[in-house]
Amino acid sequence: MKEEQRSLLLRSSSQFPPPEGVKLSYGTSGFRADAGILQSTVYRVGILAALRALKTESVIGLMITASHNEVSDNGVKIADPNGGMLSQHWEPFADALANAQTPEHLLQLVDEFAESEGIALDGAKSVEILVGRDTRPSGSSLLEAAKLGIGSVIGAVALDMGILTTPQLHWIVRARNNGDKASEIDYFEQISSSFRLVLDGFDSKWEESNEVVDKLIVDGANGVGGQKLQVYKEVLELNGLVIEVRNTGLEGGVLNEGVGADFAQKEKVVPHGFGSQDFGSRCASLDGDADRLVYFTVLSESGNKIELVDGDKILSLFAVFIKEQLSILKNRDTKLGDDYPCCIGVVQTAYANGASTDFLKQQGLEVAFTPTGVKYLHEKAAHYDIGIYFEANGHGTILFSELFLSWLEATNNELSSVSKGSEQQKAALRLLAVSKLINQAVGDALSGMLLVEAILQHMGWSIHRWNELYHDLPSRQLKVKVVDRTAVVTANAETEVVKPPGIQEAINAETANYPKGRCFIRPSGTEDVIRVYAEASAQDEADRLAKSVANLVDKFLGVGSS
């Protein structure tokens, strides 16, 4: 490393000492903590992003967000050149960098890592890092820290992209590296025009069914997703979707407080701003940075309970639709060209409701499981020609392989010359339009919502009809505060605890008391808690099972209260 680079790193890092007594970890989705202790972490992730850009010779993203966490938290994560999550083999370096105690130690880590990765720190190359942030008040000062971190690697330049949803930043990074048009306006242009294309390919059955069409009411979690929708709703309306946005944050509500996808999914009560007046309406909730989406209806005219339509149901809707299109396409005259053995798979986590997994298997689909975290699901889904992944919390998307898309393009061209307008050609067009609508970089609430709306119109389904695809087993989620969440180590896609010893046996013994009981615990990767999930054949049983396992966690691990 050149002397100029050494002294730049030493000088700038001395302004950002790490917080005392805190060990930071890259976690499920980047670093997250109280915003007050994150300056040094964000600065260091700036350095990391610059190194990643030099290594890959590509544009890299740096997003400042804590997504569903409370407003006083913040966080930071990297988007890789393809728009996906940071390559997992860089995470240990991210942890080491974030926890380096002195500027000299930090310099040594950078030096050694750059050498082992073959990254030349000689200022010969110039690279760009796109920096986005959500609406958290702490975002602007953390942005300055990120810029300083990026600027302390010679040749790296930070571009402030302003306030964006997390999936928008991932999409923009991917588009930039693919040489496509890549601004926020281009993002909205692409998703709204492909939404239009998907709709054009369909004969809407809503008109001919007796279902209530009506508008969609969206809970924006008082965050960036609500704000963006408020701005772009006219564009969407022109393209065929009428929405009303509530909880944009501009009305004074607090981010993620009593609102948003995480709240709706975990508490199963109406978000703030919704109530009996919405009985019967189709409603959707985004989370704080708009990477998660759930739907719901208000259950009764008086109560505040909701019927949740979660990520598992979104996955099931997408899977049913894609399968339908593939089977229409299969019925074409195969003399027209080779058939393609399209391999379709779905990916879930242990949080997936057991009824959803049964349903998907009954549809003849291959179902794979990974640990929690889109970084794992996405990786697995990329093994299929069409990989559909969703977490129950509403985080997911559909991935299409390049190979399959080229075959689909060629088939569509063939069909349009010999049987233009045939059902088979329409199916090919729909699938192509879906691949452009749904975010290929990462789970995205906005593009996911447009696809749900298009499919419901195509099927002629109300939200109630959709929700009838299968009936969820009753479930309950709790969180328990413990002294050290890293004391819990899991295996088998988080369904089994291997440490501390004895707790899994105790969970098994408790679960055996409940017919159809299923229960697991895992350390959260975004909050300082252990999460408990329980499923049983009746709600009060799921509640009791979750509660008693939460007590077990408390007993084994310390100071908690569930």
Query: Which stretches of the chain bind ligand G16, using CB under 6 A?
Result: 28-29, 67-68, 287, 291-292, 372-374, 391, 393, 395, 524-527, 531
**Residue 358, marked binder:** no
Nearer to ligand G16, 287 or 541 (CB): 287
Output the six-digit token pair for 191.
């998703």
Inter-CA distances, 517 with 494, 520, 531, 541, Å: 16, 10, 17, 8
SS3 state at 183 = coil
**Residue 522, marked binder:** yes
**Residue 291, marked binder:** yes
Nearer to ligand G16, 121 or 377 (CB): 377
- Identify the DSSP state of 561: -
Contact, 308 vs 325, CB < 8 A? no
Output the six-digit token pair for 64.
């400042």
Question: b/e for 478-502, b at 16 or more Cβ within 10 A?
Answer: bbbbbeebeebebeebbbebeeeee
SS3 state at 5 = helix
Please name which of 116, 47, 53 lies closest in space to residue 79, comparing C-alpha atoms.
53
Nearer to ligand G16, 68 or 176 (CB): 68
> C-beta of 262: minimal distance to ligand G16 in Å?
7
**Residue 524, marked binder:** yes
Inter-CA distances, 69 with 34, 144, 287, 474, 562, Å: 10, 22, 9, 25, 18
> C-beta of 32: minimal distance to ligand G16 in Å?
8
**Residue 67, marked binder:** yes
Nearer to ligand G16, 211 or 527 (CB): 527
**Strand order across the beta sheet in which 73-79 lies:** 31-34, 73-79, 60-64, 127-133, 156-163
- Identify the DSSP state of 85: B
Type of residue at 27 = G
**Residue 234, marked binder:** no
Nearer to ligand G16, 134 or 472 (CB): 134
**CB within 8 Å of 353: residues ≥ 6 apart:** 310, 312, 392, 472, 473, 475, 535
Gap between the Cα atoms of 124 and 198, Å rounded: 46
**Residue 393, marked binder:** yes
Nearer to ligand G16, 68 or 476 (CB): 68
Output the six-digit token pair for 361.
């298997």
**Residue 200, marked binder:** no
| H helix runs in 70-183, sequence order | 91-99, 103-117, 139-151, 166-177
Distance linking the first and last C-alpha atoms of the chain: 51
> C-beta of 349: minimal distance to ligand G16 in Å?
7
Nearer to ligand G16, 28 or 230 (CB): 28
Nearer to ligand G16, 49 or 352 (CB): 352
Gap between the Cα atoms of 75 and 66, Å rounded: 5
**Residue 397, marked binder:** no
Give catalytic residue positions.
67
> C-beta of 392: minimal distance to ligand G16 in Å?
9
**Residue 174, marked binder:** no
> C-beta of 561: minimal distance to ligand G16 in Å?
18
**CB within 8 Å of 256: residues ≥ 6 apart:** 68, 69, 70, 71, 221, 222, 223, 262, 263, 287, 288
**Residue 18, marked binder:** no
State the sign of the Cα–Cα–Cα–Cα dihedral 45, 47, 48, 50: positive
Quickly count: other Cβ atoms within 10 Å of residue 547's Cβ.
Answer: 15
Which residues make beta-bridge pairs with 62?
Answer: 78, 131
Q: Calculate the CA 394 to chain-centre distance.
A: 7
Nearer to ligand G16, 142 or 432 (CB): 142
Phi, psi of 64 (to 5 degrees): -100, 105
Q: Name the binding residues for Mg(2+).
A: 67, 287, 289, 291
- Could you list the residues known to form a binding site for substrate, using ranges: 391-393, 522-526, 531
